[in-house]
Amino acid sequence: DGGITQSPKYLFRKEGQNVTLSCEQNLNHDAMYWYRQDPGQGLRLIYYSQIVNDFQKGDIAEGYSVSREKKESFPLTVTSAQKNPTAFYLCASSTASGVSSYNEQFFGPGTRLTVL
Amino acid sequence: QKEVEQNSGPLSVPEGAIASLNCTYSDRGSQSFFWYRQYSGKSPELIMFIYSNGDKEDGRFTAQLNKASQYVSLLIRDSQPSDSATYLCAVNISGGSYIPTFGRGTSLIVHP
């Protein structure tokens, strides 16, 4: 079965703690993404990576960090510097695309993070 | 700021009617346009994509693109209660990275 997995499904964090959200894909996709979704909002891009050992900040990278040591894996760490981390976090992947290419994103099931 | 705008709704239609969802975008260089469906508490799933002006049909779904007016729409014919969800418009803006920008989504309610 090809797809994207995220774990855990639910995560609770105390203030001041760092937590890491897992994202794994077996679709052989080059590009991976992390989004944050707040109630009634669209998806906001946190970080993305188009190749192993390289990643770029998205629109709301402050308070987050990522790594891309393997093609299949793109974990996201929510640090204590992120002041309002309660949200639904979505990981996605796609084939890397060039100019004028169709570039569908496939999403994992999401992790719901709550700060206690 | 390159933007993608959607009416948040909710859009309420009776079962069997046509639901029309609209999306406007600010970047004239945008090249690819996607419609995702997201059920409450779930992740988005792609239902349509379009990159040429005109209409594209897939079953009960039709995507319409008008680059001159900078809008893309999604029509759902014979709407069913199972179509009740939030529909997200995503646009691949120009600039090389082709990371999609998402609208806030339109909530659709199909009532029996």
For A61-93, what is each residue's pLDDT tens digit? 999 999 999 999 999 999 988 888 999 999 999
Q: Which candidate, B20, B28, B22, B39, places its Cα nearest to that of B3?
A: B28
Q: Which two tokens stand for residue A86?
A: 């309660």
B-contacting residues in A 21-60 (Cβ below 8 Å): 33, 35, 40-45, 48, 50, 56, 58
Select the more confidently predicted residue: B10 or A96. B10
What would the pLDDT profile of A11-44 be if each residue is shown by its tens digit? Answer: 998 888 999 999 999 999 989 999 999 987 889 9
pLDDT per residue as tens, chain B (112 positions): 668 999 988 999 999 999 999 999 998 888 889 999 999 999 999 999 998 899 999 999 999 999 999 999 999 999 999 999 999 999 987 665 667 889 999 999 999 9
Q: CB neighbours of B57 closer than 8 A, spacing ≥ 6?
A: none
Chain A CB contacts of B104 below 8 Å: 40-42
Write phi, then psi, for A26 (nearest 5 degrees): -120, 30
Contact A90 B32 (CB under 8 A): no
- CB within 8 A of A24, min separation 6: which ones? A4, A5, A6, A72, A73
Checking phi first, is residue A110 left (phi over 0); if not, alpha (psi -120 to 50) or beta? left
Residue that has been written with the tokens 């794994």 in this structure: A24
Mind telling me how many Å the CA of A60 is from chain B's nearest CA? 13
Kindly determine whether residue A104 and residue B99, on different chains, have CB atoms separated by under 8 Å. Answer: no
